[in-house]
Chains A and B, each alone.
Chain A
Amino acid sequence: MVKASLNTDGQVLIKNKQKQFSPWKLARKKFLKNKIAMTSLFVFVSFVLIAVFGPLFTTHDITRINFMSMNLPPSAEHWFGTDTNGRDIFTRMVYGARTSLLIGLSCMTFIIVIGTIVGAIAGYNGGKIDQIFMRITDFVLNFPFLVFVIVLNTILVGKVSGVWTLILVISLLSWGGVARIVRSRFLSEKENEYVLAAKSIGTRPIKIIGKHILPNVASTIIVQATLMLAVTIVAEAGLSFLGSGVPANIPSWGNMLFEARDSDVLRNKTWIWVPPAAAITITILAINFIGEGIKDALNPKSRR
């Protein structure tokens, strides 16, 4: 008897699964139907693939100054032409994608991790701990971002190698917003019965935060993550354009734009700055569309 009933239960469960999708599955389905988001995802993924595998196929040297081939317009040998230092722009674009995406992705990871931890602790505990953590967050949010990044970057130069200085500095200054959003979601989420239930049976707070609340606020965090990715890529480009981002000898999209500060390049040698500018624009647009798509997909109320 017991065996049989178990069997039927099991069958019912399986049947239910086939009819009713889990929220994640539903979201995925919705996302797959969203053409713009899918196109954007395709574009973004191909950029990432080019960044990762592209350098295996390129032949031009990205740092070597070549006096013989400066400022050449696009041709069969140099697809996107050469820059003012005689380096192949296409190759630099590929390597630049590496740097820019590396910075974007690592900053995003750091920001989300720090922001989530701070927000979760503050939101879950409330009271004094909340006060302390939120004042620290306010403090970080109050820094004038660009000025502070430039100063920190100048101080840290030479102590941490290459792009990691910038990644560290941007991450340390940008987690404030994420922390605030995560905290507010935690504040509202912890009032739910399932949290109360977990508390009452004596689950450790760290487990409640990690296993019970976090999955429920994950959608917010994921959307924030995509936004942060776009923001940090722009920040890198902006800082490098101002000359205080990535070290000048490492190609990044922002560093390549730096050359457009020369008015002669800006007006007459468009092939030098259009590719990185276009790449940045397309990447940012793609990321934002993906973020938008995820937001729609995870929102149970949206019927689109």
Chain B
Amino acid sequence: MKKKSFWLISLLLVFSMFLAACNSGNETSGNEKDGDKEEANTGEPVEGGKVTLAVTTAPEGVFEAAYYRSAVDAQILEFTGDEIYQVNDDLEYEPDLATWEISEDKLTYTFKFKEGVKWHNGEELTVEDWQFALETMADPDYDGERFNYVEGIKGAKAKKDGKADSIEGIKVIDDYTIAITFEEMKLNNLENLWSHPMPKKHFEGIAVADLGESEQVRTNPVGLGPFKVKSVKPGEYVELEKFADYYKGEPKLDSVVVKVIDASVANGALQNGEVDIMEVIPNQVEELEKMNHITVEETTGVGYSYIGLRFGHRDQEARTNKDDIDKFKNKDLRHALLYAIDRQAMIDAFLSGKGKVFNTVIPSTFWIAADESELTQYEYNPEKAKELLAGAGYKDVDGDGFVEDPDGEPFSISFGHYAGNATFEGRSQAIIQSWNDIGVKTELATGSLIEFNLYNDMKTEDDEALEAFFGSWSTGSDPDPSGLWANNAEWNFGRWVNEENDKLLNEALSEKAFDKDYRKEVYVEWQKLFNEEIPAIPLWENLDLYGINKRLQGVHINAVGFQTNTHEWYVTE
């Protein structure tokens, strides 16, 4: 017995030594390899080459823009597809496959397509391909999720309801010219219009109802982009090869592999060169920055985080929001809650500094973003927070160290946060503690971090436990915030209702707002309103981060992604 255990323990110790040794061994050999690479890296472009893009969830394999559901499929479609317009670095819409003119009454847009653009199967792109896409999406049998992108066209709803065979508002003028008429005059008609043509000849003979599941979409897709799908291994990788006839010029790379890896091994994969480029999260950055052959690119993105405050409920039937909860009605209370949080310290602690404090909910990368000087900055100031509370009548009456509301009733906030990343526990704790510190009693809703899907359901259903809740949005390239903050918006989870809010948001989409300066002016007004009201507590805008191996060059990163002009990517070895 005695001997046996002795051996057991010594074995254990010996094994742990091995483990430790393996660990340090790897590190040194890794560094040596970096050194070699540095020397070999002459910076000269090399013909062809293969690049690996890593993703952390598997693609679903729906390679048609009108049908895809997952974000990874969207990334693959960025390689294989091209659009009518593209979004530039300032998040403005620029002509790409076509240019357009707007009629006097601003209802009809006439698009002029480029000539000589080829599909992957050699066919030439004509306006019929786009017409086909729009007609398909308005078809009653269409089972994708994107009818809203054609909804605005005149007669699209009639087709969807089965009252018409084709969309009234589409008029093909010749092979390269098409006119689209909208139902109503709206400023963002173009932004909301479907911009991906569909290969009409390729899809010939397939019923609309079967299209999403067809082989032509799943395994043998045809696109317009610089790369085409070569092979698909579900759950593991998608291999793309270059499309030599790409209309903007032959891609410099031979192929791109989109590979699925687990998030926990991401840094290792970048280190040993298995992966050339991937989107990374802030916790990874510190380690990546130590690797010589990796650059970490960062850019202010279109995502932000905030703390929602609940003002009421949503009537799902009537699709309206009603502010019938009085808890956060006091503006000074809301200001105090914001002053109480040391946002910069939180960014440094939980996002490795990769974030930027902001005081509205418009990320600064948008052209409509208000200048900092026009907004109150709400710098961390717990003393001021306490003063504001006292001034508003929130005082500690019963001596328990926490304030009571102006009527002398106990006051507490139930704050919810979702589970996931290892930093979330600290982050939620930090917020709770900041509020407790100024005397506002705060507890973690349900007592623990909530599973993400459940959390979203709770938000949608106005769960009472979520009086305050952590939220994050990625807004997309359309600057209009109405989808998230308009009075009756479904995603206005705090159910904030304010007359001025809707007035400004509508004004910014009015005919007058076709003048860009005026539109910006209105949005700045809206941001001032938000900044003054603080209907939700703005925390920070996120930085988008990408880890890129130095052998891969020519990557252009902007707020909407890293896949602009992928045909210009090249490798140096």
Contact = CB atoms under 8 A, between A and B. Distances in A.
A80 interface: no
A70 B349 contact: yes
A85 B287 contact: no
Nearest to B6: A36
B142 to A, nearest CB: 36
A248 B425 contact: yes
Contact of B447 (A63, A162, A304): A162
Interface stretch (A105-113, A134-142, A261-269): A261-269
B447 A36 contact: no
A64 B433 contact: yes
Interface stretch (B190-198, B448-456, B533-541): B448-456
Nearest to B417: A248
Contacts of B420: 243
A157 B450 contact: yes
B422 interface: yes
A85 B425 contact: yes
B239 to A, nearest CB: 27
Interface in B409-446: 419-420, 422-426, 428-430, 433, 444-446
B465 interface: yes
Nearest to A261: B422
A67 B429 contact: no
Contact of B5 (A64, A244, A248, A289): A289
Interface residues of B, number: 39
A35 interface: yes
A296 B2 CA distance: 13
A289 B346 CA distance: 45
Interface in B265-291: 265-268, 283-284, 286-287
Contacts of B426: 65, 84-85
Contacts of A261: 264, 422
Given A34-B1, A65-B430, A85-B425, A263 B284 contact: yes
A84 B433 CA distance: 16
A247 B1 contact: no
Contacts of A65: 349, 426, 429-430, 433
Contacts of A249: 425, 429, 444, 448
B429 A268 contact: no
B466 to A, nearest CB: 11
B287 A84 contact: no
Nearest to A35: B2
Nearest to A263: B267
B419 A263 contact: no
B419 A243 contact: yes
A264 B447 contact: no
A158 B287 contact: no
Contact of A36 (B2, B342, B454): B2
Contacts of B445: 158
A259 B448 contact: no
B23 interface: yes
B461 interface: no
Interface string A9-26: 000000000000000000
Given A249-B425, A264-B286, A157 B448 contact: yes
A161 interface: yes
Contacts of A296: 1
B1 A36 contact: yes
B229 to A, nearest CB: 32
Nearest to A154: B451
B345 interface: yes
Contacts of A263: 264-268, 284, 287
Contacts of A265: 422
B23 A157 contact: no
A44 interface: no
A258 interface: yes
B379 to A, nearest CB: 15
A85 B446 CA distance: 22
Given A65-B430, A67-B342, A158 B465 contact: yes
B262 to A, nearest CB: 11
Contacts of A267: 23, 287
Interface in B125-168: none
B213 interface: no
B236 interface: no
Interface string B491-507: 00000000000000000
B348 interface: yes
B476 to A, nearest CB: 29
A292 B8 CA distance: 14
B447 A67 contact: no
B429 A63 contact: yes
Nearest to B450: A157
Contacts of B422: 84, 258-259, 261-262, 265
A172 B283 CA distance: 38
Nearest to B431: A65
B456 to A, nearest CB: 14
Contacts of A84: 349, 422-423, 426
Contacts of A157: 446-448, 450
A161 B444 CA distance: 12
A243 B452 CA distance: 12
Contacts of A161: 447
Interface centre among A86, A247, A292 (most CB of B within 10 A): A247
B445 to A, nearest CB: 8
Interface string B388-419: 00000000000000000000000000000001
Nearest to A158: B446
B264 to A, nearest CB: 6
Nearest to B26: A267
Contacts of B265: 263
Contacts of A158: 445-448, 465
Contact of B454 (A35, A70, A154, A243): A154
A72 to B, nearest CB: 13
B224 to A, nearest CB: 39
A84 B349 CA distance: 8
Interface string B70-94: 0000000000000000000000000
B464 to A, nearest CB: 11
A292 to B, nearest CB: 8
Contacts of B267: 263-264
Nearest to A304: B1
Contacts of A247: 444, 447-449
B5 A85 contact: no
Contacts of B429: 63, 65, 85, 249
Contacts of A244: 419, 451
A264 B284 CA distance: 7
Contact of A268 (B287, B433, B465): B287
A70 B286 CA distance: 14
Nearest to A84: B426
Contacts of B448: 157-158, 247-249
A267 B283 CA distance: 13
Contacts of B446: 157-158
A126 B248 CA distance: 82
Interface centre among A63, A158, A162, A258 (most CB of B within 10 A): A158
A64 B433 CA distance: 7
Given A36-B1, A244-B419, 13 more contacts: A65-B426, A85-B349, A243-B420, A243-B449, A247-B444, A247-B449, A248-B448, A249-B425, A259-B422, A263-B267, A264-B287, A268-B287, A289-B5
25 contacts: A36-B1, A36-B5, A63-B429, A67-B345, A67-B346, A67-B348, A67-B430, A84-B349, A85-B349, A85-B425, A86-B349, A157-B446, A157-B448, A158-B446, A249-B429, A249-B444, A258-B422, A259-B422, A262-B283, A263-B265, A263-B266, A264-B283, A264-B286, A265-B422, A296-B1
Q: Ordered nearest first, which 9 A-B pairs have the shortest CB separation?
A: A247-B448, A158-B446, A85-B426, A248-B425, A67-B345, A65-B430, A264-B287, A36-B5, A262-B422
